[in-house]
Amino acid sequence: MDLTVSVKGLRIKAKKLDNDFYDFIKEDLEKSGIDFARDNSIESLFTAYLRLAAKSHNYDREIESIIKDIES
């Protein structure tokens, strides 16, 4: 599926996303305040990025902790 978002008048399209990934990204962007029916600010897009980056960072820390527990 294609996912299109408008930021400061520029339409950005991600093409041919897997359906599950599309649903995940769309839902997460909406939780971050991105509206697919209107133009969005750069700040909104950056906030959405930081939200996902924080999730990724926390997952990495959890994985490292699990690996340490398994190794000891």
Backbone φ, ψ for residue 34 (5° rounding): -75, 130
pLDDT at position 27 is 94
Q: pTM of the prediction?
A: 0.76
- Single-letter residue type at 36: F
pLDDT tens for 2-53 read 999 999 999 999 999 999 999 999 999 999 999 999 999 999 999 999 999 9
CA–CA separation, 6 and 39 (whole Å): 5
Query: Collapsing DSSP states into helix, strand and coil, what is residue 7?
Result: strand
Number of domains in the chain: 1
The residue segments making up the domain with residue 7 are 3-71
